[in-house]
């Protein structure tokens, strides 16, 4: 799939997945796209755990009381982890949140280009100790936090991509005129 087509087709897929497992080669391609994302000061702060062991996937899906079928039926998860207290800083600023966001967007585009579906799960992880519960399954060290999870699978349904606002509603040249 062409890059601009993948950008146009990418959407948050929250529905169910087929029973087909995701080949490790595809998971590596997806995550490599994330690792190839830009990183502030080239610090490369984003850490990623791929969960594809069927038992661990099942444990996370059972633990997940998230109301989205994508979380319950995922065939693999990509877990994005960050340091709780960033060690790499530039002028007392950390860019690890921005780094991870760039990595996740690249991975979402790769997921789309390969014909899979996913949804960026973030806020839910920060409620009711969900991130901490899942972190136990992957032996995440105490100085790290699970920040984003991408459930992955082959979509069972064609989901409608929500319409985006027009270019002119969101963009202007040279001066803010919106």
Res 60: pLDDT: 86
Instruction: Tell me what the pLDDT averaged over the chain comes to.
Output: 89
Domain range annotation of the chain? 3-170
pTM of structure: 0.90
Provide the strand spans (E) within 20-143. 47-51, 76-83
Mean pLDDT computed over 34-41: 93
Q: pLDDT digit string (tens) for 96-142?
A: 999 999 999 999 999 999 999 999 998 888 888 888 988 988 999 99
Note whether 151 and 119 are within 8 A (CB).
yes
**3-170 topology per CATH:** NADH Oxidase (3.40.109)
* 66 pLDDT above the threshold of 60: no
How far apart are the C-alpha atoms of 17 and 43, rounded to whole Å?
Answer: 35
* pLDDT of 145: 93
Q: What per-residue confidence (pLDDT) applies to 90?
A: 79
How far is Cα 149 from Cα 118, in angstroms, rounded to an integer?
Answer: 10
Cβ neighbour number for residue 6 with a 10 Å cutoff: 16
- Identify whether the C-beta of residue 104 lies closer than 8 Å to the C-beta of residue 34: yes
What residues are paired with 121 via a beta bridge? 149
Taking the C-alpha atoms of residue 119 and residue 54, their distance in angstroms, rounded to an integer, is: 20
Greater confidence (13 vs 48) lies with: 48
Predicted local confidence at residue 67, as pLDDT: 63
């Amino acid at each position: 799939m062409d890059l601009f087509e993948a950008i146009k087709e990418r959407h948050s897929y929250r529905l169910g997945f087929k029973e087909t497992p995701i080949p490790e080669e595809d998971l590596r391609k997806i995550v490599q796209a994330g690792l190839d994302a830009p990183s502030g000061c080239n610090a490369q702060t984003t850490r990623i755990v791929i969960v594809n062991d069927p038992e661990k996937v099942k444990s996370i899906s059972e633990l997940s009381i998230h109301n989205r079928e994508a979380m319950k039926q995922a065939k693999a998860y990509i877990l994005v982890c960050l340091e709780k207290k960033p060690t790499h800083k530039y002028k007392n600023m950390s860019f690890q949140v921005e780094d991870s966001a760039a990595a996740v967007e690249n991975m979402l585009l790769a997921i789309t280009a390969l014909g899979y579906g996913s949804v960026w799960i973030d806020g839910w992880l920060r409620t009711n100790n969900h991130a901490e519960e899942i972190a136990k399954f992957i032996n995440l060290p105490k100085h790290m936090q699970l920040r984003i999870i991408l459930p992955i699978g082959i979509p069972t349904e064609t989901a409608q991509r929500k319409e985006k606002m027009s270019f002119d509603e969101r963009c202007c040249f040279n001066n803010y005129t919106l």
